[in-house]
A and B are shown apart, each in its own frame.
Chain A
């Protein structure tokens, strides 16, 4: 048993929140630079230039890349041999989010109830926490803030096996087409295939929080990622939706086992501010 204090978890989450919101990952920045070289539309190149300068300013001033600093989505892998001391895990994560978003001058965009009062919780809690128990005595925390412009454009398609590969491609393409300029393209498209309703959505979220330079380890799915990217970039939506050849930096696909009669496809879109930060305790 290795002991990890709730305090350390809290402090780490607070740091990751600010880091994720103010520092674009180097890989996303590289994707922007490559996109600017490849983009055929002059307006699109101008938009990409603005985004690159924006990321530089944000990093230099420790200012948020985007004003929508999102809901704080936390992926936690907790080693089975860890004993958390001095408090509850979820409380520690939420305290970290509250502190990071308050002390880091990030926007608080969480309302406590969706339908009637929609009252802001004031500190961007609660976080959306996805926990997995894994082997070992460490905790891996990945924080991926997600804004509404892109989150609102996600979709779940409950396909059937007969829809096959073509059905999957069509579902992804139509979701991205329909999203238009709202998710601030160029985007990172996360696709979750298989599982059931909720698992497909979780896979899609993991996929869109994955690094733009990562590839699915299964070569068939890695090829699908490339094919989907080619299709999506054929939509012409372009940077900021103003028209152009780069609509997405990357399509990430995650899959999992499913029922003999199911083929769920979830699409979760991440925007050009494809942000995440990670720490291992």
Chain B
């Protein structure tokens, strides 16, 4: 039976070691919203020797490009986007101390290895559950590159954001293991 965890960011290595694929987790605290364009800019900043707009140590990046916020709301609908597009950038961030990511879908071998080697974690949020997830997001503050619109780098305060552990620091892959008991073809 999968375990349930309540996690608050930043995550410690001890927090991460308790997580196993298939476990449910409810995340609270700050998570950083970034997708394709913001990742490209982060890596360009590192290549120039500049610091990142936030200290990645122990933090979680959420791959999301929300719909526009309606008046009076911090954010619009905000479900996960496909993580694989960020694969090229992810190992470098994990080496700098990033604790993990929230997204959806398979990762490359290089990312899976970096998750294991750096004691990190990859969570899946439910793709398509964007209005539900939006209710867990209490604030949304753009930190850098506002010209990227919904792709800007932002800090979000979240409360009990429901996710599933899909890659743990022991090399486990829920997308591979989860299907096995139900596979007939």
Contact = CB atoms under 8 A, between A and B. Distances in A.
Interface string A234-257: 111110111111000000000000
Most buried by A among B82, B127, B166: B127
Interface residues of A, number: 48
Contacts, number: 160
B104 interface: yes
Given A54-B132, A149-B82, A63 B76 contact: yes
Interface in A67-92: 67-69
Q: Name B's interface SS.
A: loop
Contacts of A184: 104, 127-128
Nearest to B151: A120
Interface stretch (A45-53, A127-135, A196-204, A261-269): A45-53
Contacts of A180: 105-106, 175
B182 A67 contact: no
B180 A243 contact: yes
Contacts of B177: 243
Nearest to A40: B182
Contact of A242 (B1, B134, B178): B178
Interface string A33-75: 0000000111100110011011101100101111111000000
B146 interface: no
Contact of B128 (A43, A63, A245, A272): A272
B22 interface: yes
A106 B68 CA distance: 7
Interface of B: 1-2, 22, 24, 64-70, 76-79, 81-82, 84, 104-106, 124, 126-135, 149-150, 162, 164, 166, 174-175, 177-185
6 contacts: A40-B182, A236-B184, A240-B126, A242-B124, A242-B166, A242-B175
